């Protein structure tokens, strides 16, 4: 009995993990001695969408957003840029025009160093949908070595 319950939960976890259509990777690109680009790359499974940071209304999906741990040794410079396979169209699920990405999207945030720092920590929030359903929003922590 115990073995079958364990097997059931392992299969359930496998199914839940398979419902993770967005995979994230993080990197830092040195621009100069005091500047870095923090690069967040999302690989989006075929048939799924990742939403832009920018929405026309709060009544739609959860936009992708980034939260950086405060540290006096760096500051953010400008807004987080996004580029990838961009689709802007009316979305039947939400009843509004949305900007969403397929395949791969890269978000880039420039930071300026003001002191010694080895890594930048934070988290990102995102939501993903296909043409029939949406998965609950997810929070992904990140740690990017410089």
What does the pLDDT read at residue 18? 53
CB atoms within 10 A of CB 22: 20
Contact status, residue 138 vs residue 126, Cβ threshold 8 Å: yes
Q: Does residue 16 have a pLDDT over 80? A: no
**CATH number belonging to domain 22-145:** 2.60.40
Q: In this predicted structure, what is the pLDDT of residue 57? A: 85
- Would you call 105 exposed, middle or buried from its count of C-beta atoms within 10 A (0-12, 13-18, 19+)? buried
Q: What angle do CA 129, 38, 113 make, to 5 degrees?
A: 150
Give the domain ranges of the chain. Answer: 22-145
């Amino acid at each position: 009995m115990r073995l079958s319950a364990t097997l059931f939960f392992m299969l359930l976890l496998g199914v839940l993990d398979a419902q993770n259509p967005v995979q994230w990777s993080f990197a830092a690109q040195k621009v100069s001695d005091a500047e870095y680009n923090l690069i967040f790359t999302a690989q989006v499974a075929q048939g799924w969408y990742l939403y832009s940071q920018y929405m026309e209304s709060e009544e739609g999906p959860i936009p992708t957003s980034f939260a950086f741990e405060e540290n006096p040794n760096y500051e953010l410079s400008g807004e987080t840029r996004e580029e990838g396979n961009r689709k802007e169209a009316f979305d039947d699920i939400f009843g509004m025009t949305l900007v969403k990405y397929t395949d791969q999207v890269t978000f880039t945030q420039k930071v300026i160093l003001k002191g010694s720092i080895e890594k930048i920590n934070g988290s990102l929030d995102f939501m993903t949908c296909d043409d029939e359903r949406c998965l609950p929003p997810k929070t992904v922590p990140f740690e990017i070595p410089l």
